Amino acid sequence: MSDTKLKRVDLIFGEYSNVKYKVLADTIKLPNDKILEDLLESGLRGRGGAGFPTAMKWKYTAQAPGDEKYVVCNADEGEPGTFKDREILTRVPRKVFSGMAICGKVIGAKKGFIYLRGEYKFLLPELLRELEGYHENAKSIGLDFSIEIRLGSGAYICGEESALFESMEGNRGEPRNKPPYPTTFGYLGKPTVINNVETFVNIMMIMRLGPIQFKMLGTTDSRGSKVFSVSGDTPIAGIYELELGMPLDRFVDEFGDGDTKAVQVGGASGFCVPRKKFKDTVIGFEGVPTGGSMMLFNSSRSMYNVLHNYLEFFEEESCGQCTPCRVGCQQLRKGIEAVKKGDKKSQYLEQLMKLSESMKLTAKCGLGQSVANSFSSIVYNFKEEMIY
Amino acid sequence: MATNNNNYIGELVGQYGRSRTSLIPILQGVIEKNNFISDLDMTEIAKELDLSAAQVYGTATFYAFLETQPRGQFVIRICKTITCDMHGKKTIVQTIEDMLKIKVGETTPNKKFTLLETNCLGWCHEGPAMLINEKPYSGLTPEKVHDILREYMHK
């Protein structure tokens, strides 16, 4: 049995080095070009879900004109089914701070912020204590980079990078038009690198192991390991660090309860994969990407209820700024309710699918654009459950 | 115009500064103190930060945790997102409603508890989960909820 098991990795949560902040101290001695080169070589892509190549983000920001630049750590983890960032910040916060500090050195920033979701405020005292230690160490190795924590206040949309900047600036968390991108116009309109919590930890992994060893994990398109948040109908819900690029059927063999009918990959804004497609689905950027959320549903669950729950979520969390998202989320929810009640014919689902496709094309940010992912994948694969 | 008796706004402004970037930390500070932000608080903050009251109101009302309605001393937020829902959130809500004799969205007459539902709290692997003010509780059962609430009743 053991050879069929998915490869477990223990790098992200691996123990700290014996000397405090040793990897950071070693890394800041390297020239910026070497750090960027290693990062590029590693193939690291952002761990928040969108998967943008991290080295490019850093490079563009480093090249952007201006003396005032910022590093922001996105800890506004709000995607349903995701809880990895909380675990990382609880268990290995120093790796996050170090990753941010290295970024600061490379792009020429002196100030970093962690935007922590309000729901995780309970982590604050411990994080502030750890930060004190970080600042002492940074001082002793002559590193001029300070980190401050800003709290969110219960808005999922603030996980969208430009909405997050708006929130940090004291505004409503409404996403901006892009371009300009954060690399040139981020926090306070200054060039900013914004990365997910896990991405910063990956940086430290690459700096410690070197890009070659990092690359040995995962596949060509999805390098390295990833922290997965596993929940739903599984006997072993929790946090697992696994290699990227695994087939979904093997994942289900290991984490399912023997009766898994669907897996929602990537949270409410991700895709629903039905049982018949487990075999052909790869978890990673070449297949179904995920910020780490894996929710399993067994045959006792109504996929109508699942979709309804997601739509309610989006309806409430839509910032209301653009019409496709504000109105679209409501109409999708009302639409599936009408079909379920028999007020509308089942053909109406086709119209709703079109609406979700329009949202994908016209919504201003990732929230409105991604509603179609779960909507169409659930309606398409579980049509009869939507009707009867 | 009426003025606030408490000088907490002034204290918060002293602590965080007068720039627009201080607005949310100040609003969060008011919540920590009073559990909600009153109209009077908002106009006072606007004055201190040289903003219009509408700008402060606009920011405050955007965020679910920046309450602008009076709330109890302990705000209970139950996660209603999918995995918590699947694992018995409804029973938990029922248990709390029975115990406190209020419905979701209401505050007890003694202003001690407010019961709300909220979106994903990030405890999907241990659902159902809730927050009481900022403290998370997961793996809830009716018995566990009884014990937790009884403790708060005596606070």
In tens, the pLDDT along B32-75 reads 999 999 999 999 999 999 999 999 999 999 999 999 999 999 99
pLDDT of res. A135: 98
Distance, CA of B85 to CA of A306 (rounded, Å): 9
User: How far lies B144's CA from each of A3, B125, B147, in Å?
Assistant: 40, 17, 5
User: How far lies A28's CA from each of A35, A42, A211, in Å?
Assistant: 9, 18, 17
Q: Is the dihedral of CA B43, B45, B46, B47 positive or negative?
A: positive
8 Å CB contact of B58 and A172 = yes
Residue B69 lies in a domain: no
Tokens 């079109």 locate to A354
8 Å CB contact of A170 and B64 = no
* Interval A305-363: pLDDT, tens: 999 999 999 999 999 999 999 999 999 999 999 999 999 999 999 999 999 999 999 99
Domain spans of chain A, in order of start: 9-215, 225-298, 303-387
Which of A79, A167, A232 shows the shortest C-beta gap to B24? A167
Which of A120, A238, A306 shows the shortest C-beta gap to B122? A120
Name the DSSP class of A300. T
Provide the pLDDT confidence category of residue B6 given band limits of 50, 70 and 90. Answer: low
Q: What is the ipTM for the molecules in this complex?
A: 0.96
CATH number 3.40.50.11540 is the correct assignment for the domain at A9-215: yes
Examine the domain organization and report whether B82 and B144 are in the same domain: yes
Query: pLDDT in tens for each of the 388 residues of chain A?
Result: 344 567 778 888 988 988 999 999 999 999 999 999 999 999 999 998 888 999 999 999 999 999 999 999 999 999 999 999 999 999 999 999 999 999 999 999 999 999 999 999 999 999 999 999 999 999 999 999 999 999 999 999 999 999 999 999 999 999 999 999 999 999 999 999 999 999 999 999 999 999 999 988 887 778 888 999 999 999 999 999 998 888 999 999 999 999 999 999 999 999 999 999 999 999 988 888 888 999 999 999 999 999 999 999 999 999 999 999 999 999 999 999 999 999 999 999 999 999 999 999 999 999 999 999 999 999 999 999 999 9
Examine the domain organization and report whether B39 and B78 are in the same domain: no
Once rounded to an integer, what is the mean pLDDT over residues B98-122?
Answer: 97
Give the SS3 label for residue A121.
Answer: helix
pLDDT of res. A243: 87
Neighbours of B109 (CB within 10 A): 9
pLDDT of res. A2: 40
8 Å CB contact of B124 and A237 = yes
User: How far lies A335's CA from each of A309, A328, A331, B74, B126, in Å?
Assistant: 14, 10, 6, 37, 32
Q: Which residues in B lie closer than 8 A to residue A167 (C-beta atoms)?
A: 24
Nearest to A369 by CA among A378, A379, A356: A356
Neighbours of A359 (CB within 10 A): 26
Examine the domain organization and report whether B91 and B120 are in the same domain: yes
Kindly give the pairing relationship between strand A260-265 and strand A146-151: unpaired
User: Measured between CA atoms, how close is A24 to chain B, in angstroms?
Assistant: 30
How far is residue A204 CA from its own chain's centroid?
Answer: 18
User: How far lies A145's CA from each of A52, A138, A141, A188, A226, in Å?
Assistant: 25, 7, 11, 18, 27
Q: Which residues in B lie closer than 8 A to residue A156 (C-beta atoms)?
A: 119-120
Examine the domain organization and report whether B55 and B78 are in the same domain: no
pLDDT of res. B1: 44
Residue B67 lies in a domain: no
Q: Are A284 and A95 in contact (CB under 8 A)?
A: no
Tokens 């606007």 locate to B46
- Secondary structure of chain B in HEC code, one letter for each residue: CCCCCCCHHHHHHHHHCCCHHHHHHHHHHHHHHHCCCCHHHHHHHHHHHCCCHHHHHHHHHHCCCCCCCCCCCEEEEEECCHHHHHCCHHHHHHHHHHHHCCCCCCECCCCCEEEEEECCCCCHHHCCCEEECCEEECCCCHHHHHHHHHHHHCC
Spell out which chain B residues touch chain A, with contact meaning CB-CB distance below 8 angstroms: 19-25, 27-28, 58-59, 62-66, 80-83, 85-86, 118-127, 131, 134-136
How is A176-243 classified by DSSP, letter by letter? Answer: PPSSSPTTTS-GGGS-EEEEEHHHHHHHHHHHHH-HHHHHTSB-SSSBSEEEEEEEES-TT-EEEEEE
Residue B105 lies in a domain: yes
- For the ranges A78-92, A256-270, B1-15, B136-150, the lowest mean pLDDT is seen at B1-15
For residue A230, the chain B residue with the least C-alpha distance is: B125
The parent domain of residue B13 ranges over 8-62
Distance, CA of A329 to CA of A332 (rounded, Å): 5
Nearest to A203 by CA among A351, A95, A53: A95
- Looking at CATH, the fold of the domain delimited by A225-298 is given as Ubiquitin-like (UB roll) (3.10.20)
Here the tokens at position A312 are 């309610």
8 Å CB contact of B24 and A150 = yes
User: How far lies A115's CA from each of A54, A74, A167, A326, in Å?
Assistant: 19, 6, 9, 25
Helices (H), chain A: 22-27, 32-42, 54-63, 84-91, 93-107, 124-140, 161-168, 197-209, 211-215, 248-255, 303-317, 323-341, 348-362, 366-381, 383-387
Number of domain units in chain B: 2
pLDDT of res. A9: 81
Examine the domain organization and report whether B82 and B136 are in the same domain: yes
pLDDT of res. B5: 54
Which of B23, B82, B119 shows the shortest C-beta gap to A306? B82
Examine the domain organization and report whether B29 and B86 are in the same domain: no
Once rounded to an integer, what is the mean pLDDT over residues B10-15?
Answer: 96
Tokens 């994948």 locate to A377
8 Å CB contact of B135 and A122 = yes
Residue B129 lies in a domain: yes
Examine the domain organization and report whether B82 and B54 are in the same domain: no
8 Å CB contact of A172 and B122 = no
Helix (H) or strand (E) holding A297, with range, is strand A293-298
Neighbour order of strands in the sheet with A260-265 = A238-243, A225-232, A293-298, A260-265, A271-274
Which of B24, B81, B85 shows the shortest C-beta gap to A170? B24
Q: Indicate which CATH number applies to the domain containing B113.
A: 3.40.30.10
CATH code at A303-387: 1.20.1440.230
Global pTM reads: 0.96
Rounded CA Rg of chain A: 21
Nearest to A106 by CA among A36, A207, A200: A36
